[in-house]
A and B are shown apart, each in its own frame.
Chain A
Amino acid sequence: MIGLTIKMIGALLIISGGAMTGMKIKRYYIKRREMLKKMQDALRYADDAISIENALLDEVLISCGEKFFGGSREEDVFGRAAAYLKEEFGSFERAWDRACAELEEKCVYLKKADIECISGIGKALGHSDTDRQSAYVASAVKKLAALEEQASEAESREGRNAVKIALAVSAAVIIILF
Chain B
Amino acid sequence: MDIKQFQTEIADRLGGTQAALSLNTAFSYAGALLSSAGEIRIRTGLPLCVIGSRRKERYFISGSGRIVTSGSAYRPSKEEIARIFACICRSSLYAYREDIKNGFITLKGGHRVGIAGKMLSDGSVYEVSSLNIRIARQVRGCAGEIVEHIIKNSSEIYSTLIISPPACGKTTVIRDIARILGSGNRAPHFTGANVGIIDERSEIAACYNGEASNDVGLMTDVYDACPKEKGILMMIRSMAPDIIITDEIGGPGDAAAVKSAVNAGVKLIATAHGSSVSDLKVRSEIADMIRSGVFEKYITLSAANGPCTIEEVVSGTPEDIL
Contact = CB atoms under 8 A, between A and B. Distances in A.
Highest count of chain A CB atoms <10 Å: which of B15, B86, B96, B97: B86
A156 interface: no
Interface stretch (A20-28, A86-94, A110-118, A136-144): A86-94
A152 interface: no
**Main SS of the interface on chain B?**
helix
B100 A57 contact: no
Contact of A85 (B89, B91, B93, B126): B91
A57 B83 contact: no
B22 interface: no
- Using C-beta atoms within 8 Å of the partner chain, give the interface range for chain B: 20 to 34
Contacts of A54: 94-95
Contacts of B289: none
A10 to B, nearest CB: 60
B166 interface: no
**Main SS of the interface on chain A?**
loop
B2 to A, nearest CB: 23
A130 B94 contact: yes
B126 to A, nearest CB: 8
- Using C-beta atoms within 8 Å of the partner chain, give the interface range for chain A: 10 to 19
A90 B94 CA distance: 14
Nearest to A95: B91
A136 to B, nearest CB: 13
Contacts of B93: 126-128
Given A89-B15, A89-B16, A90-B15, A126 B91 contact: yes
Interface string B63-107: 000000000000000000001111101111111110010000000
Contacts of A127: 93-94
B95 A55 contact: yes
Contacts of A126: 86, 91-94
Interface of B: 15-17, 83-87, 89-97, 100, 124, 126
Given A55-B92, A55-B95, 18 more contacts: A50-B92, A56-B95, A57-B90, A58-B91, A85-B91, A89-B16, A90-B83, A90-B84, A90-B86, A90-B90, A91-B83, A126-B94, A128-B96, A128-B100, A128-B124, A128-B126, A129-B94, A130-B94
